[in-house]
Structure 1
């Protein structure tokens, strides 16, 4: 549509553009259909631009007034909308030795507690960065996932509720995880005292030094470079979620429990993502059964 001269732009051109937005591949690379809200946003931007053109007498009237926005039919969601990956891609993980080595090296960075909790809980990046201290029950050793973080150029960084009921969940954690969090809180408190009134207290567990929310891309950009720097394969931050699931599978944990910990909207999603890790576990199950019956 950008190639059409402004004075030759017709309502049909806009209608065709909206149709292509709905039916074509998404420009942001995400899965699933474009939302009605996104379509309305595009229309408002175009309408405002054409209003300006009318005021400057570049065109006689705003053709967007003559365009009726199409209604987007909601499709059945066959993927987990809270996950940040393409489930058709190969799952990449770290093994036990690599995890221990990675965490040992991470002690020298500001992100040790964040990486430790990612491996121990399988929480998504947005869930970790939105985690508040009030969401952690140290006595019961439970983490409550109640919100996630997002970012758009229009809104900036913002908090939102999990998209599915299963994403809103409680995750049991170990005593070691609680100890790491307590130490992290102590370090955070020292920074808070140092900054005094300049500290922005959002009660966030993982945040910038001044208390403000961390941009989601900060850890995503840093993590692959960190792995490469310490001699490990260059993987994205989401690999820690996969690593958590794979280690649980290797330990013989039931897939339903793993699905609940990950907050998948259905067990089928967990099977779809990790089924390739399961064939060898059937052999292990047979061997355990034979030992039990001897």
Structure 2
């Protein structure tokens, strides 16, 4: 028997078989129905859910408990260490204290919407005032992602965050260097120890974490390629960790322009000379390309600080280290390099991401394409009648 109803005292109870465990039927009891008809209606609903595969086993797990499980079972293995720390901090300091006590299976869009509104009004942990729309939107992204896992794991029928309206925000204006700006910036960096790193950042669009994790074994100066295989992160406790990127697109070969090959050859020769003069050693294939004198990695923030000083000195105060990627992509697109190639160099997961980020460059490319078609057809020398009919 798959299920039945029975009277218990003054109320009715539904007993339904929800499957088998260790070869034996597993039953679930639902009590408190005032009439037999109510119980039978609920039994019919439960049997339909079981037949359709929509049945959810009742649980008392709170949203906060689920979020900690999600961090442990999903985020820990699937996001970068720095990203994981950000998620953990957000959940422990903001989300769980506010709505972590709510039962996961009873979480509603209205409760999530109220959470976003409250964070906008008075979400700061220190001081008074609310969090920015951009920050609260990031809270929504994490909540939505966690609840999406709950749906996949069979804990929820649907994602309540789908029915919310998270705060919108304006994307900050992208600042980039033009070709003259790149030359000016590199000239200012030349006397510093940061010059090779800044050069590679501008000429390859590598992320900071990828750049500082490069080993000589990742570099092929004969073929002219850098192979991105790992990233380096500094955690809240100050420790430095290396991690292989999860995304296949992030693990990628990046072609080097001839000038960058020459610069890296010079950098390699200087490193060989320095090692021979200091400890008589040689540069190993496993050594970091950009490292402190003891061979340890530079803290990522140190490169950012060096960039800021150079930006201030050259009058490019609004240009961040990450804008080296934007500069690289923008200059390539303006010089008619196909967006697919740009996507591959940047390590974006899809070409849609690249086109979305650099949509401001696309109108100019459209104009150039239109003019290029006229040249391809050579309208001026053809018999095509361009006069009004």
Residue 205 of structure 1 is aligned with which of 272, 280, 289? 289
Residue 285 of structure 1 is aligned with which of 355, 369, 375? 369
Q: Secondary structure at the match of 2:359?
A: helix
Residue 341 of structure 2 is aligned with which of 250, 253, 257? 257
Give the number of aligned pairs: 235
**Corresponding residue of 1:190:** 273
**Corresponding residue of 1:34:** 87
Q: Secondary structure at the match of 2:171?
A: coil
Residues 140-161 of structure 1: CA deviation (Å, up to 9, x unaligned) = 1111111111110347111100
**Corresponding residue of 1:267:** 351
**TM-score normalised according to structure 1 size:** 0.71
Q: Which has more strand, going by share of residues?
A: 2
Stretches of structure 1 that go unaligned for 5 or more consecutive residues are 1-14, 23-28, 44-70, 77-85
Stretches of structure 2 that go unaligned for 5 or more consecutive residues are 1-61, 70-81, 97-144, 153-168, 379-389
Conserved? CA contact 2:188–2:310, under 8 Å: no
Please provide the CA RMSD for this pair: 3.4
**Corresponding residue of 2:259:** 176
Provide the rounded CA distance (Å) in 2 between the counterparts of 1:173 and 1:20. Answer: 43
Q: Does structure 1 residue 134 correspond to structure 2 residue 217?
A: yes
Q: 1:244 to 1:87 in 2, by over 3 A?
A: farther
**TM-score normalised according to structure 2 size:** 0.54
1:1-294 matches, cutoff 5 A: 34=87, 72-74=146-148, 88-154=171-237, 156-196=239-279, 202-294=286-378
Q: 1:119 to 1:109 in 2, by over 3 A?
A: same
Q: Point out 4+ residue stretches in structure 1 off by more than 3 angstroms.
A: 15-22, 29-36, 71-76, 197-202
Q: 1:33 to 1:218 in 2, by over 3 A?
A: closer
Q: Secondary structure at the match of 2:358?
A: helix
| Structure (1 or 2) with the larger CA radius of gyration | 2
Q: 1:117 to 1:33 in 2, by over 3 A?
A: closer
Following TM superposition, by how much is the alpha carbon of 1:182 offset from its aligned partner in structure 2, in angstroms?
0.7
Q: 1:126 to 1:33 in 2, by over 3 A?
A: closer
Q: Secondary structure at the match of 2:298?
A: coil
Q: Secondary structure at the match of 1:276?
A: coil
